[in-house]
């Protein structure tokens, strides 16, 4: 969610910190499972938001997004609920889901001083074949990016893997909104782009924790920010999908903390 704040350096996480973040990530994953039965025609985005907040608070955690951002316009929900042509940061309002929609649900939690963050795109009932292919490709693009995460790899390798898969199938990759480091702050260094050149960018080290969260459009990559200063949509009104995990670089490869 949102662009990264610029930090002075990448903070490598200790085993204790990673264990706490693993618990935060598990809570994020549990919250998706709580929401899944309710993602169906007729449910409102506000109801999904209520269910998520209730579950997160019952677990002793705090919704990471609620109240996040500038004091003049803090984010008003527990989840980001991005439907159809909404790329990210959709506000969970009274809109009802309908058959054939897709909805990207982005969830963040703060647990024992550390953050967990992930996104999942749900299909609502039966969707068109072209939209299903978009959702499947976006999930596969995330996995392609995660597959290259290991010590000695470069951030550019992640973006290259995602871009190659998505553009190779005729889709476009959103450029303005990125993955990010995460820990005691929701947004830390490094910035993780979803486009890139192999063998370029920061070298990955054990203890680095960050999100990978490609946003893939059925049409062109251009975006537009709505007047609410949060909701980002595709400029050509084409559908967009997103998947995200929080990942830690290990000595041998990586672990996904939000499975």
Output the 3-class SS for 54-95.
HHHHHCCCEECCCCCCCCCCCCCCCEEEEECCEEECCCCCCC
Ligand-binding annotation for 89, yes or no, is: yes
Alpha-carbon gap, residue 29 to 115, rounded angstroms: 13
pTM, rounded to two decimals: 0.95
Q: Which CATH class is domain 15-256?
A: alpha beta
Q: Single out the residue of 242, 223, 243 nearest to residue 233, CA to CA.
A: 223
Binding residue per annotation — 96? Answer: no
Measuring CA to CA, which residue among 162, 128, 105, 160 is closest to residue 238?
Answer: 128
Residue 106: enclosing H or E segment and its boundaries?
strand 102-111
Q: Of the candidates 49, 163, 57, 29, which has an alpha carbon nearest to the alpha carbon of residue 103? A: 49
176 annotated as belonging to a binding site for a ligand: no
Spell out the per-residue pLDDT of the chain, length 259, in tens.
Answer: 444 344 447 999 999 999 999 999 999 999 999 999 999 999 999 999 999 999 999 999 999 999 999 999 999 999 999 999 999 999 999 999 999 999 999 999 999 999 999 999 999 999 999 999 999 999 999 999 999 999 999 999 999 999 999 999 999 999 999 999 999 999 999 999 999 999 999 999 999 999 999 999 999 999 999 999 999 999 999 999 999 999 999 999 999 999 9
């Amino acid at each position: 969610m949102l662009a990264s704040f610029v930090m002075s350096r990448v903070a490598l996480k200790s085993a204790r910190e990673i264990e706490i973040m693993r618990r935060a990530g598990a809570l994020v994953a549990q919250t998706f499972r709580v929401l899944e039965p309710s993602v169906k025609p007729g449910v409102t985005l506000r109801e999904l938001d209520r269910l998520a907040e209730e579950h997160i608070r019952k677990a002793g955690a705090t919704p990471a997004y609620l109240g996040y951002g500038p004091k003049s316009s803090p984010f008003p929900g527990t989840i980001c609920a991005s439907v159809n042509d909404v790329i990210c940061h959709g506000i969970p309002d009274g809109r009802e889901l309908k058959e054939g929609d897709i909805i990207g649900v982005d969830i963040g939690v703060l647990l024992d001083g550390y953050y967990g963050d992930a996104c999942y795109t749900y299909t609502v009932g039966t969707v068109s074949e072209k939209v299903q292919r978009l959702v499947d490709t976006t999930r596969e693009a995330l996995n392609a990016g995660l597959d290259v995460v290991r010590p000695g790899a470069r951030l550019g390798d992640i973006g290259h893997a995602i871009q190659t898969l998505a553009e190779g199938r005729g889709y476009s990759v959103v450029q303005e909104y990125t993955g990010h480091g995460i820990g005691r702050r929701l947004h830390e260094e490094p910035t993780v782009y979803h486009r890139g050149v192999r063998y370029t960018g920061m070298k990955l080290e054990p203890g680095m924790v960050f999100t990978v969260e490609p946003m893939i459009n059925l049409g062109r990559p251009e975006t537009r920010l709505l007047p609410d200063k949060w909701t980002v949509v595709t400029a050509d009104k084409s559908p967009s999908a997103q998947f995200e995990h929080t990942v830690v670089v290990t000595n041998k490869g990586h672990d996904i903390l939000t499975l």
